[in-house]
Amino acid sequence: MLAVLKENIEKTLGRSVSDEVLHAVGDCMFRKTFDKKVLLAEEGQSCRYVYFVLEGSCYSYLIDAKGEKHAMQFALEGYWMSDLYSFFSNRKGIYTIETLEPCQMLLLNRQGFNRACDICPEIDRFFRLLIQNAFLALQYRLAKTNSEDAEARYLEFSQLHPNFIQRIPQYLIASYLGIKPQSLSRIRKEMVSKK
């Protein structure tokens, strides 16, 4: 069960992790299942957990001044999901997190996080890297949004995350790319006719 987690931590840290460390982390987390369309975090409330997806999928979004949702991140098996800012700062979150399918998750709360960091410095380092990577991904995404058109962004997204295309509804991918579902539909049609 922890095999997926081990793989993920090792990939992020860039080195192998002992079973000791792995189980120390595992002991700080607990397992939970969710139905689809369940809210794991809500805008305006402190985000108390970091989620590691064992099975299923979820996504985070924020709601703008006009009440419209904007998808920010997707997570399938082997991905982490949280409102990291809220989790670490303990302030009210800006994201809502919702399951797309029935899910099995590993949950880590602040207490567990602190315990895990005390036990082994690798974990502290791991979460630091998690934020750094999220930060980098965001920089990259903003740059792409400002320099490339929707078709190029969709093409890159579909090549980078072919499994997302399979399992995530198109209108959410459109939202993630910053366009309307109608536009994405037209872009896809256009791309097929090009080939």
Partner DNA sequence: CGGTCTCTTGACGGAGTTCAAAGCTAGTGG
Partner DNA sequence: CCACTAGCTTTGAACTCCGTCAAGAGACCG
Residue ranges that bind a second copy, judged by CB under 8 A: 62, 64-66, 68, 70, 72, 84-85, 88-89, 94, 128, 131-132, 134-136, 138-143, 145-148, 178
The per-residue b/e assignment along 74-88, b for 16 or more CB within 10 angstroms, e otherwise, is bbbeeebbbbbebbe
Q: What are the structure tokens assigned to 3, written together?
A: 């095999």
- Examine residue 58 and tell whether it contacts DNA (CB under 7 A): no
CB of 41 to DNA, least distance (A): 19
Nearer to DNA, 6 or 153 (CB): 153
147 binds, among a second copy, DNA, none (CB under 5 to 8 A by kind): a second copy
In degrees and rounded to multiples of 5, residue 41 shows phi and psi of -160, 150
143 binds, among a second copy, DNA, none (CB under 5 to 8 A by kind): a second copy
- Alpha carbon 139 to its chain's center: 16
Segments in the chain forming alpha helices (H): 3-13, 19-28, 84-89, 110-119, 121-147, 150-160, 162-167, 170-177, 181-194
CB of 83 to a second copy, least distance (A): 10
Characterize the bridge pairing of strands 49-55 and 103-109: antiparallel
- Cα–Cα distances (Å) from 25 to 107, 123, 126, in that order, read 11, 8, 11
SS3 of residue 74 by DSSP: strand
SS3 of residue 76 by DSSP: coil
- Examine residue 21 and tell whether it contacts DNA (CB under 7 A): no
Binding mask 172-191 for DNA (x = CB under 7 A): ------xxxxxxxxxxxx--
CB of 108 to a second copy, least distance (A): 18
Which residues 151-170 are close enough to bind DNA by CB under 7 A?
151, 169-170
Nearer to DNA, 88 or 171 (CB): 171
Binding mask 97-136 for DNA (x = CB under 7 A): ----------------------------------------
Can you give the binding site for DNA, defined by CB under 7 A? Answer: 149-151, 169-171, 178-189
